[in-house]
Amino acid sequence: MHGTEGMVRTMMSLEQAIKHAERAYKESRNGLQYALKRGETKFAERCEKDAEENRQLAAWLRELQERRKAPEIIRCKDCKHYEWMSNRIPEEQTWHCHCWDADTGKDDFCSYAERRSE
């Protein structure tokens, strides 16, 4: 077979990729210890390089995983600063945000939102 014929592409989750990199790191460290016991310096150098690359990859993937964790988004309709302004004349009645002192839509959101306790 030539090229990519017959290749199967699979997707893995970030957690699976981290486990894979950690497992590859451990295997490289084991290979390094084996090579050092047998006095195989070239193989030991390669295992040491592989181990370091896999350690760095696992660390980078863990950092990426932490950065991907998004904060909870609280929509205006669920925020304690959001209320119906019915004290206006009928054509001006609307939902209002007291944080921004502005009329907003129910599905808007901001970083100052606090979940309404009901």
Is residue 7 scored above 70 in pLDDT? Answer: no
What is the domain partition of the chain in residue ranges? 14-68, 71-118
- pTM of the full structure: 0.50
Label residue 2 by pLDDT band (50, 70, 90).
Answer: very low
SS3 (DSSP) at 73:
coil
pLDDT tens digits, 64-109: 888 877 778 889 889 998 888 777 677 777 888 888 888 888 888 8
> Which amino acid type is present at position 28?
S
| Residue range 23-71, pLDDT digits in tens | 999 999 999 999 999 999 999 999 999 999 999 999 999 998 888 777 7
Q: Give CA separation, 29 vs 22, 24, 34, 51, 87, in Å.
A: 11, 9, 9, 6, 71
Query: What pLDDT is recorded for position 8?
Result: 52
